[in-house]
Amino acid sequence: MKKEPTISKNWLVIGAKNTGKTHRAMSIARTTLKGTRHRRLIVYNHSQNDSYNDPSKRVMYVSERVDIADFLAGDWPEVREFQVEDYLRKRFSEFLELAMQLRNTALVLDDAGAAFHSSCTELEVDFMGTPKNNNCDIFYQMHHFNQAPPKLLLAMDMVVLKETEDNLPLPKKVPYQGIMTMLQREIREENDHYPDNQRWAERLIDLKNSRVYTISPNDGHISEVRQFREFLR
């Protein structure tokens, strides 16, 4: 079994509802808490996603919850994991301003497609540039590519690609559009062999090193590694 790639910086985790998107984002984010890489994991939950509040969903469950006002005031629980609740993302810009100061943190942005502006504000662009200097990993969850701002797509290092509801071919703004379209077709064909409630096929795409990892939906391990050039033959 080949090893999973080293944790990167900006992650796009994209897929339709019930494709395992949140489960996968939290699973990868939690690997960064092992050892001394990151001190904390923060989930920005503006969409009242109950997945984080269900103890039976162990990978996704985050027991501690903090209101956005308390978070901005610095009133944080003394735990390694917590949610920041900002209903209807009313204080999203303030959240980003504070989040840009975080270090050694895994940050999961739930339903990021609804939070970021279509053309991205200067603050949003600056935020996407902070992970490297601050030793943070940021996970941007989205349902489909149509809601992803072009500037955000260009800032990504890794893509966790699940089945989306996008029309094919994918929009031209998607990096490596042709390869990503082929991978989306692969995923849909693979999911056709699974039950409707287990459409969990996934490709992990390393945009910086031009690699595609096929992830087994059974155990989350890597079953195949391909180079981008293999899709261009």
DSSP string for residues in 117-157: -TT--HHHHHHHT-HHHHT-EEEEEES-GGGS-HHHHHH-S
* Best CA proximity match to 40, nearest among 137, 156, 142, 139: 137
Q: Give a yes or no: residue 211 inside a domain.
A: no
Q: Give a yes or no: residue 83 inside a domain.
A: yes
The domain total for the chain is 1
Q: Give a yes or no: residue 180 inside a domain.
A: no
Q: Give a yes or no: residue 65 inside a domain.
A: yes
Residues 45, 91 contacting (CB under 8 angstroms): no
Residue 232's SS3 state is coil
Domain range for 106: 10-165
Residue 197: its H or E element: none
* Best CA proximity match to 99, nearest among 63, 147, 136, 66: 136
Q: Give a yes or no: residue 77 inside a domain.
A: yes
What are 78-135's pLDDT values in tens digits?
999 999 999 989 999 999 999 999 999 999 999 999 999 999 999 999 999 999 889 9
Q: Give a yes or no: residue 26 inside a domain.
A: yes
Residues 86, 44 contacting (CB under 8 angstroms): yes
What the block records as the tokens of 72 is 């901005």
Q: What is the pTM of this model?
A: 0.94
Partners of 215 in the β-ladder:
202, 222
pLDDT over threshold 80, residue 36: no
Burial of 204 (0-12, 13-18, 19+ CB in 10 A): buried
Q: Give a yes or no: residue 201 inside a domain.
A: no
Q: Which of 23-27, 31-35, 134-138, 159-163 shows the highest mean pLDDT?
A: 159-163
What are 37-85's pLDDT values in tens digits?
788 999 999 988 888 998 988 889 999 999 999 999 999 999 999 999 9
CA-angle at 65, arms to 7 and 26, nearest 5°: 25
Here the CATH number for the domain that contains residue 138 is: 3.40.50.300
Question: What is the number of other CB atoms lying within 10 angstroms of the CB of residue 199?
Answer: 21
Q: Give a yes or no: residue 229 inside a domain.
A: no
